[in-house]
Structure 1
Amino acid sequence: MSASETFQSIPIVDVTKLRTGTLDEQKAVAEELGKAARDVGFVYITGGGIDESLFEGVLDATKRFFALPHEEKMKVYIGNSRCHRGYVPEGEEVFASGSKDKKEAYDLSMDLPADDPDYVAGNPLLGPNQWPDLPGFAQAVDDYYRAVFGLGRVLLRGFSLALGEEPTFFDKYVTKPPSQLRLIHYPFDASAEDRPGIGAHTDYECFTLLRSTAAGLEVLNGAGEWIDAPPIPGAYVVNIGDMMEVWTNGTFVATSHRVRKVSEERYSFPLFFAADYDTVVAPLPRFAEEGKALRSPLKAGEHLFAQTAQSFTYLKERVARGELALPQDAAPLSSFGQEARLKY
């Protein structure tokens, strides 16, 4: 059995030297990241250099937002946005299993001006955020977004080195990406049983950086076993997404994961690090030349939008009314990662 089939825990990698070290020291960290990406698809990272006060600030802002009355939160309902930004009420999002999750969220991304040419042209994922009328919220959330996105750029260079490329190899694909930050609230539920909450899925982008306040995250290994990935103080959970799986032709694994139902109140903050909307993601030559074609090329933004449009109720309704159309050859949900491999 391979390591991806038998892993029982998530490795921990200190990325301090990836940020501050010599090239040889960066390569040593990158080697650890690459091994985790190949064998598990998940890794805890420490030494990211993000001031803990930024996380405390976004956590406070998030708690204040979700404590607002429902009608106040609905003033920034995601369905009001033309670029998928805003409040996501409970039941709005449905994964491939068809079950509705007991959670609420607030989604945002790089805050672009209303005259941004991509937004004006109708890009479904690029544009301005919807901000609630809540003192200090936008500043705290945007500050956190910028810090974690910056750490994502550091990790991107680490993955470049892990693949034998120059550290700046992927930078040209990340100039104005629709990298989304989600503020997620799982309310206290005294009747919750230890069962799936968010349905099993892979993340659609390059990789994800996650902080959360309580246990619940589970990761699927190649043997079909669910492995706990509880939060470690100060650490970020990083997992490989669909785009990196395509670039490496399956060498890096977009590991399926889910959130089981827990009774305690839980807040979760995933930042989905994406490539630019028009980036064509295809297996890199060194992987394609191995003669295995596990993954077909895809356009990054179209894949992200297609997966999003298949899981959000308001977008599915727009598609049904003919107001939106899924990109041609859009992959169905759960087409990547260990779950897909076990299924097919």
Structure 2
Amino acid sequence: MGRALIDAWRRDGILQIAMAPRQQEVYERAQEASREFFAKPPALKAACVDSQSYAGYIASGEEITDGVADYSEIFTVTKDLPLDDPRVVNKWPCHGPCPWPDHGMRNSMKQYMEYLGESGEKLLRLTEYGLGVPEGSLTRLTQDGWHHLRVLRFPQRNKTNGKGKDGRGIGSHTDYGLLVIAAQDDIGGLFVRPQYDHEKFANWQKSSAGLHEDDDRWVYVPPQPGVFTVFPGDIMQYMTNSYLPSTPHKVGLNRRERYAFAYFHEPSFQAVARPLPGYEAGQKPHEGIHYGTHFTNMFLRNYPERITTQRMLAEDRYQKLAEPALRTMRSESVSEAINSQASVPMGARL
């Protein structure tokens, strides 16, 4: 089964897995909560923003892909941390509470993410088998993983399904982590672009946003009830030396409004990803990719005007990404990691 997963991703860029009955129930509740949230008045949605994390509401036109505003309306769920969490107190970039509109949405989305977290771990273990790497080569990175969710709504556009500029929901891009587990309603809009041998890209070095946006090699993914669509991200491509490329995809607008979820099964914010055994070929960066920095850079690029970006820059939070406490996968607690900085010479932290 692991080899079948690898073959499908290499051939088609995606694969689909059936939802278990319990997952289907949880998905439907999350879908209902999504519709209820996006139906709220604009002022109430706009109030769901946090200045420390990138969680919360993203208005249509706020997200930027390749310098162009996207039509999507989004609620992002990142790790939901209380204000007295040591990471928040110490001003770690992107760390903070999730500004939920109500308990109903909070409970629905957290349960949905918990189920997908279990699926993500199973998929990573199968991926290890399929790649022929030691057990734990991928799952060791996802201890305290920076898993997050994008709850999406796309407006209606008459007489289009992703055609032309008026049909663009989200521009072409690759996603930045290990695995993406997506679900869509019965209104289609997802397009993917399987790999072609002559094409090379490395989004962790140079953005692939907007790449091949208007060519004719995009494949429409018809909506199927009761399935998740799964594809690799940039970190997976780096760790496998492009044996598993990060799948380019984009979203078109359709004749009716559309709702979807994109769940990201990710390494720990503190993890440093390196090439897998047998897949080292001198790929850059040689020192590995620090996931926290990679994630932060993606969001800084996509949301240059967001209050979170402005506060991070004003308070020099970005500089903290170089500190040892943000680059460890040790088993010690976060508070111990933070306290241990006191014994580290300032020059060594950078």
One of 125, 130, 141 as aligned partner of 2:99: 130
Query: Which residue of 1 is the match for residue 57 of structure 2?
Result: 87
8 Å CA contact retained: 1:107, 1:182? yes
Deviations 1:137-166 (A, max 9, x none): 211111111111211111111111112134
State how far apart, in whole Å, the 1-side matches of 2:173 and 2:132 are.
29
Does structure 1 retain, via aligned residues, the 8 Å contact 2:312–2:318? no
Q: Residue 194 of structure 2 aligns to which amino acid in structure 1? A: N
Q: Which residue of 2 aligns with 1:106?
A: 75
What is the alpha-carbon distance in structure 2 between the residues aligned to residue 206 and residue 141 of structure 1? 21
What is the deviation of 1:322?
A: 4.8
The size of the alignment, in residue pairs, is 295
- Identify the residue that residue 300 of structure 1 maps to in structure 2: 291
Aligned equivalent of 1:341: none
Take 2:43 and 2:124, find their aligned partners in 1: how far apart are those partners? 40
Residue 86 of structure 2: which of 117, 121, 141 is its match?
117
- 1:50 to partner: Cα distance: 4.4
Q: Which amino acid aligns with 1:197?
A: G
Superposition pairs of residues 152-171 of structure 1, within 5 angstroms: 152-171=120-139
Q: Structure 1 92/245 Cα, relative in aligned 2: closer, same or farther at 3 Å?
A: same
Determine the structure 2 residue equivalent to 1:57.
29
Distance 1:215 1:327, change over 3 A: farther
In the TM superposition, what whole-angstrom CA distance separates every residue of 1:295-317 from its partner, at most 9, and x where no partner exists?
65211111111011101133496
Look up the match of 1:207. 179
1:163-242 alignment runs, 5 A limit: 163-190=131-158, 192=160, 194-195=163-164, 196-213=168-185, 214-223=187-196, 225-242=217-234
Bigger relative contact order, structure 1 or 2 (CA pairs below 8 A, ≥6 apart)? 2
Q: CA deviation at 1:271?
A: 0.4
CA–CA distance in 1 between the matches of 2:176 and 2:248? 11
Alignment partners' CA distance in 1, 2:137 and 2:20: 21
Deviations 1:166-193 (A, max 9, x none): 4433232112222111110112233656
* 2:14 aligned partner: 42
1:244-283 matches, cutoff 5 A: 244-283=236-275
Q: Matched residues in 1 for 2:227 and 2:88: separation? A: 35
AA of the residue aligned to 1:230? P
Shift of 1:82: 0.4
Alignment deviations for residues 168-226 of structure 1 (CA, whole Å, 9 cap, x no partner): 33232112222111110112233656233211100001010000112111111345610
**Cα pair distance change 1:172/1:138, threshold 3 Å:** same
Aligned to 1:15: none
Distance 1:36 1:164, change over 3 A: same
Q: Calculate the aligned-residue CA RMSD, in Å.
A: 2.5
Task: Using the TM superposition, give the Cα deviation of residue 119 of structure 1 relative to its aligned residue in structure 2, in angstroms.
Answer: 2.2
Residue 143, structure 1, aligned to residue 111, structure 2:
yes
> What TM-score results when the alignment is normalised by the length of structure 1?
0.78
Report the TM-score when normalising by structure 2.
Answer: 0.77
User: 1:136 Cα deviation (Å)?
Assistant: 1.8
1:314 to 285, 300, 305: 305
Gapped regions of structure 2 (runs ≥ 5): 197-214, 321-350
Closer, same or farther: CA 219–179 of 1 in aligned 2, 3 Å: same
In the superposition, relative to structure 1, how do residues 239 and 295 fare at CA in structure 2: closer, same or farther (>3 Å)?
farther
Distance, in Å, in 2 between the alignment partners of 1:33 and 1:208 is 14
| Residue identity (%) | 28
Q: Is contact 2:177-2:234 (8 Å) kept? A: yes
Tell me the secondary structure at the aligned position of residue 109 of structure 2.
helix
CA distance in 2 between partners of 1:108 and 1:154 (Å): 22
In the TM superposition, what are the counterparts of 1:7-22 in structure 2 within 5 Å? none
Contact 1:76–1:130 (CA<8 Å) still a contact in 2? yes
1:218 and 1:324 mapped to 2: Cα distance? 38
Structure-2 separation of matches of 1:156 and 1:324? 35
- In structure 2, the partner of 1:338 is none
Partner of 1:340: none
Gap change, CA 1:122 and 1:177, over 3 Å in 2: farther
